Amino acid sequence: MEKVFEQFRNIGVVPVIAIEDASKASLLASALVKGGIHIAEITFRTACAEEAIREMIKAEPHMLVGAGTVLNVEQTERAVKAGAKFIVSPGYNPDVVDWCIANNVPTVPGVSNASEITACVNKGLSVLKLFPAERLGGCKIVDDFGGPFPHVSFLPTGGVNLENLIDYAKRKNVLCVGGTWMVKKNLIEDNKWDEISQLCSEAVKVIHDIRRS
């Protein structure tokens, strides 16, 4: 599990992808890699999520591909069977967390308050998705949670973009961020692969510049 989260930190940004056409998954994977992002979270909000995970892994075998918007154990099992290397949920579901722990699958449940963080910590988790980050207070709430939970690292998602990325990247308790701005639906539908690569490159540069400063 530590190796997966180390990759999260090294890359700094996880594209959150809702893909409607699995035939585009391989080209999308290559565009992400070209832009310096070797990780992807395929959300289970679309019917072709499992196939998209398989196609991305086939196209870029060294890419870290996981599943997002996972709501229950049945979806978790399907995602892992398709090849997902990590599970992200919008909220805290103890059944999903327990299944992932039992099967040694890295999981990042969503949290929005201290009670949910406490429940996750008591399960032995230390990497949590803060969602919806901007509506909860953005960097301010990241800082607030850093006091009572010094050993928790967050993956802020929801409202994160290139404009506020710098502020999140400066936080020591932010492992990485999740976002959709570089993989918006229209970019995928219109086959804007070069634009996706460019947006990925910009995001990676911002994060790496901050971490080097």
Catalytic residues: 41, 129
Distance in angstroms (rounded) separating the CA atoms of residues 146 and 128: 12
Dihedral sign of CA atoms 153, 33, 183, 47 in order: negative
Residue 14 and residue 176 in contact, taking contact as beta carbons nearer than 8 Å:
yes
Going by the DSSP 8-state scheme, the letter that residue 24 receives in this structure is G
Cα 138 to chain centroid, rounded? 17
Instruction: Report the SS3 class of residue 108.
Output: strand
Residue 87 and residue 79 in contact, taking contact as beta carbons nearer than 8 Å:
yes
**Helix (H) / strand (E) containing 75:** helix 73-82
Distance in angstroms (rounded) separating the CA atoms of residues 42 and 49: 6
Angle between helices 49-59 and 25-34 (to 10 degrees): 50
Distance in angstroms (rounded) separating the CA atoms of residues 176 and 6: 10
Residue 168 and residue 139 in contact, taking contact as beta carbons nearer than 8 Å:
yes
Instruction: Report the SS3 class of residue 86.
Output: coil
